[in-house]
Amino acid sequence: MLLIDKYAYTNKIRCYSPQAKILLACGTIIISRIINNYYFDLLIIILMSVLIVGIAKIPCKAYFKMLLIPLSFLLVSIVAIVISVNDVNYIYCFKLINSYIGITYESFNTGAKLFTTVLSSLTSVYFLILTTPIIDIIKVLKKLKVPSLFIELMVLIYRSIFIFIEEANNIHMAQTMKFGYENKRNSLKSISLLIRNLFLRIFIKHNEMNISLECKLYDGEFKLGD
């Protein structure tokens, strides 16, 4: 259903210790920040891509498709950083009304550095999320003595995400078959009906979960098996 979640459970290095994977991902992000060097960033990008595609055996095509998702935000933000107004020593500039807009050496450098840094941390995070299931991450958080209320909410939310995704998909399919997304007006109406229905499901599911948990002698605490 969720592509990243699927790969997290089916990759080849799923059974390796989650602590090591988290340490590796966070470590590379922080070290690349401290060293702050183009070549080091490139090294990390290549290393992580090899780990993801070569060792964890995530399909190459899927991995690059996933990398493209955040790239649009990156490009637009970098445009905003690279372009500067009324500066001196431009590489290239043009005049608009009565101010100069263009690219300077400094802004170009900042933009290029940012691009490699973001890509290197992005590949590190992808390594973590594509190889480690959420349950393993939650177990590590528990060992780190994160408040139990937070952990319990995480477990509950993780479970309910999939309940709601399935229902949202069913409703969406039914609506599409009845031409609910034919034009703008209909789409707005359909989407609000969908959200309303999902919202009502919260209450129905809440009652059902209450009953089932009471049958299992639930005393207000979820036990995670370690």
Residues 174-193 that bind other proteins (CB under 8 A): 181, 184, 187-189, 191-193
Q: Least distance in Å: CB of 108 to other proteins? A: 10
Residue from 12, 33, 57, 65 binding other proteins (CB under 8 A): 33
Within residues 141-160, the interface with other proteins by CB under 8 A covers: 147, 149-150, 152-160
Say if strands 90-96 and 99-104 run parallel, antiparallel, or are unpaired: antiparallel
Kindly state whether residue 107 participates in binding other proteins, applying the rule CB under 8 A. yes
Kindly state whether residue 73 participates in binding other proteins, applying the rule CB under 8 A. yes
Buried b (16+ CB within 10 A) or exposed e, 163-189: eeeeeeeebeeebeeeebeeeeeeeee
Q: Collapse the DSSP code of 36 into the 3-class scheme (helix H, G, I; strand E, B; otherwise coil) and give the result.
A: coil
Total number of residues that touch other proteins (CB under 8 A): 86
Kindly state whether residue 42 participates in binding other proteins, applying the rule CB under 8 A. no
Using the rule CB under 8 A, give the single segment among 13-21, 45-53, 54-62, 209-217 that binds other proteins.
209-217
Task: Measure the CA–CA gap between 12 and 55, rounded to whole angstroms.
Answer: 7
Task: Measure the CA–CA gap between 49 and 58, rounded to whole angstroms.
Answer: 10
Kindly state whether residue 5 participates in binding other proteins, applying the rule CB under 8 A. yes
